[in-house]
Amino acid sequence: MGTKVQLLDGANVNRIVATGRITRLPGIDSYHGKPISKKYYLVGVKDVMDGKVPLFVTNEAYDPPQLHLKDIVGTTTLWDREYLVVDDVH
């Protein structure tokens, strides 16, 4: 389900830091109670190459807080559309 994507590092667009799938479903317009800006896609994160990369949208309310890619492996996050590439390799 969803388009396979590669997540790029916000500090270096030439570096792939994770892979996943766009998971935003029709009718879903909020994430953790906040509206989803058109700037972002909701992405299910599958594999992470660099867990220290900061998230575009953090969730400090979680325990432990979700601040970096290592904190959200196997879950979802909002990722800036400009830092996603459709994964045509897999």
Cα dihedral 81, 78, 71, 73, rounded to 10, equals -70
pTM: 0.84
Look at phi and psi of residue 76 and say left if phi exceeds 0, alpha if psi is from -120 to 50, else beta. Answer: beta
Residues 60-85 have pLDDT tens digits of 776 677 889 999 899 989 999 999 99
User: Counting Cβ atoms within 10 Å, is residue 50 exposed (0-12), middle (13-18) or buried (19+)?
Assistant: middle
Contact 48/17 with Cβ under 8 angstroms? yes
CA angle (39, 44, 45) in 5-degree steps: 105
Residues 6-22 have pLDDT tens digits of 999 999 999 999 999 99
